[in-house]
Amino acid sequence: MKQEKELEYYEQIKDWDFSKFEIETEDLTDWDMTKILEEVTDESSVVLDLGTGGGEKVIRSFPEYLKKIVATDFSKEMIETAKKNLKESGRKNIEFKLMDNLNIDLEKEKFDVVVARHTVTDPKQIYEVLKPGGYLIIRGVDKYDCHELKRVFGRGQGYDEKPISIIDYENVLDANFKDVELVPLHQREYFKNRDLLKGFLLKVPIIDDFSKLENDVKDYYKKDLENDKLDEYISKNTFPNGIRLLRRYYGITARK
């Protein structure tokens, strides 16, 4: 049920481009997924990107010198958007493929690096498709992401669950990876006005966690928020830079 609800949600959104929300980001932690990817790859590297969404990140940020990038998502609509974005970009080293992260259907020991961003993973399956000595890089959203906002609304992604970072970390260890490192990532995000923040919260599963609430499949174009609670949060979190969200992510690196 959880996976079906997530798929319906992503099929409705069709893209994962947040540029229209004009978010100003301030990094508080020195951990950059793209820099790490550049450090462990060269012109001969083949990279797998799991949960690519509409492909915006892989097209804009993954190195153009890579030999090949295979980017996958379980949403047909997301993959169609990614292919459209790829055509517009002119990049030649990226292939988009419809695939479920939890049912990896790819050649064994094919990839030098596997990247997973804000998505579910099965490290044991990832281990099988990595070449010996290959790298796994995970970037995820942790339990205490936007925690004050979740407290105001009384719900949210991972609100009553074990931290996702620990779950992923333990799963990577159990999959027999080496040099496993978990790093907490902290960011401040600022929104210029209430409408931009509200539009962002309607698009992402921060407050309404479809993995927990029955029959709650987010509809970006129809669903609304409790305005009194949103205003309560904004009244306490407005700064010269804008309305602030405190983001809590995590990064995991490991080697086969």
| Cβ neighbours of 214 (radius 10 Å) | 7
- Pairwise CA distance, residues 129 & 80, whole Å: 25
**Is 60 exceeded by the pLDDT of residue 121?**
yes
**Is 60 exceeded by the pLDDT of residue 77?**
yes
Percent of the chain whose predicted confidence (pLDDT) is above 90: 76
Q: Are 59 and 85 in contact (CB under 8 A)?
A: yes
- What is the torsion angle, in degrees rounded to the nearest 10, for the CA atoms of residue 126, residue 127, residue 133 and residue 136? 40
Q: Tell how many helices (H) and how many strands (E) occur in the chain.
A: 9, 9
Q: 97 CB contacts (<8 Å, ≥6 apart)?
A: 70, 71, 72, 79
* Structure confidence at residue 220 (pLDDT): 40
Confidence of residue 142 (pLDDT cuts 50, 70, 90): very high
Buried b (16+ CB within 10 A) or exposed e, 219-253: eeeeeeeeeeebeebbeebeeeebbbbbbbbbbbb
**Is 80 exceeded by the pLDDT of residue 248?**
yes
Among 169, 166, 145, 148, CA closest to 157 = 145
Q: Are 141 and 167 in contact (CB under 8 A)?
A: no
Q: Are 200 and 225 in contact (CB under 8 A)?
A: no
Give the tens place of pLDDT for each residue, 189-231: 999 999 999 999 988 888 875 554 444 444 443 467 899 999 9
All structural domains of the chain: 2-145+159-189+248-255 (3.40.50.150)
Residue 145: DSSP 8-state: T
* Structure confidence at residue 4 (pLDDT): 53
Which two structure tokens, joined as six digits, stand for 129? Answer: 């498709």
Q: Are 194 and 202 in contact (CB under 8 A)?
A: no
Q: Are 202 and 225 in contact (CB under 8 A)?
A: yes
Report the run of H or E that residue 191 belongs to, with start and end.
strand 178-191
In one letter, which amino acid is 9?
Y
Q: Are 124 and 104 in contact (CB under 8 A)?
A: no
Percent of the chain whose predicted confidence (pLDDT) is above 70: 88
pTM of the shown model: 0.86
Which two structure tokens, joined as six digits, stand for 110? Answer: 């094919």
DSSP 100-120: -TTS--S-TT-EEEEEEESS-
